[in-house]
């Protein structure tokens, strides 16, 4: 993998390119640590979606919310990260173990973004029933 970053004094814009992917950052863009947290969320979400599909779990939506704490001194690294997974699916209790397995596989084996961060991890799984009786938590 290779990447390139260019900052332009006139525009104040950072342009990053990796392969055929480009990201433009300006004063309204997420800061680097926010991007890192978003990278962890997207990495684990992609893992969970892929694993649940392979397990043939009939989910409709996966959401990941992150709460992170940082060290008070520089470098202000993440010290704690809690991820809340919300999986929308019918008959949640029927699939609870498969969802838990998917999240554990992402956390302990597949998510390379989180593996590169030395922080205490915790997570919570919320199953949301999308059955005909309405949405329940």
Please indicate, yes or no, whether residues 55 and 116 belong to a single structural domain of this protein. Answer: yes
Report how far apart, in Å, the C-alpha atoms of 81 and of each of 1, 10, 45, 77 are: 26, 37, 15, 11
Average pLDDT for the chain: 95
Beta carbons of 107 and 121 less than 8 angstroms apart: yes
Please indicate, yes or no, whether residues 19 and 67 belong to a single structural domain of this protein. Answer: no
Please indicate, yes or no, whether residues 92 and 63 belong to a single structural domain of this protein. Answer: yes
* Coarse DSSP helix, strand, coil percentages of the chain, rounded to the nearest 5 percent: 35, 35, 30
| Per-residue pLDDT at 50 | 98
Residue 134 lies in a domain: no
9 lies in which domain range?
A: 1-29
- Helix, strand or coil for residue 65? strand
Residue 136 lies in a domain: no
Residue 90 lies in a domain: yes
Residue 83 lies in a domain: yes
Residue 7 lies in a domain: yes
The upper half-sphere exposure of residue 28, i.e. CA atoms within 13 Å in the direction of its Cβ, equals: 1
Please indicate, yes or no, whether residues 40 and 4 belong to a single structural domain of this protein. Answer: no
Please indicate, yes or no, whether residues 114 and 85 belong to a single structural domain of this protein. Answer: yes
Please indicate, yes or no, whether residues 25 and 39 belong to a single structural domain of this protein. Answer: no
Q: What is the pTM of this model?
A: 0.90
| Each residue's pLDDT tens digit, 41-80 | 999 999 999 999 999 999 999 999 999 999 999 999 999 9
| Each residue's pLDDT tens digit, 72-107 | 999 999 999 999 999 999 999 999 999 999 999 999
CATH label of the domain that carries residue 109: 3.30.300.20
Tokens representing residue 90 in the block: 């019918």
| Per-residue pLDDT at 92 | 97
| Per-residue pLDDT at 132 | 52
Please indicate, yes or no, whether residues 20 and 55 belong to a single structural domain of this protein. Answer: no
Please give the tally of structural domains in the chain: 2
- What are the φ and ψ backbone dihedral angles of 53, each rounded to 5 degrees? -60, -45
Residue 137 lies in a domain: no
Q: What is the DSSP letter of 117?
A: S
Please indicate, yes or no, whether residues 37 and 3 belong to a single structural domain of this protein. Answer: no
């Amino acid at each position: 993998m290779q990447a390139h970053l260019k900052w332009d004094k006139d525009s104040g814009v950072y342009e990053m390119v990796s392969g055929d992917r480009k990201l433009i950052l300006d004063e309204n863009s997420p800061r680097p640590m926010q991007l890192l947290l978003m990278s962890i969320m997207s990495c684990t979400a992609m893992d969970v979606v892929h694993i649940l599909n392979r397990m043939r779990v009939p989910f409709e939506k996966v959401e990941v919310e992150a709460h992170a704490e940082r060290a008070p001194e520089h470098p202000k690294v993440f010290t704690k990260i809690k991820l809340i997974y919300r999986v929308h699916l019918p008959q949640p209790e029927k699939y609870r173990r498969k969802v838990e397995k998917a999240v554990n596989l992402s956390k302990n084996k597949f998510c390379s973004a989180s593996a590169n961060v030395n922080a205490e991890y915790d997570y919570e799984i919320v199953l949301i029933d999308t059955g005909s009786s309405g949405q329940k938590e």
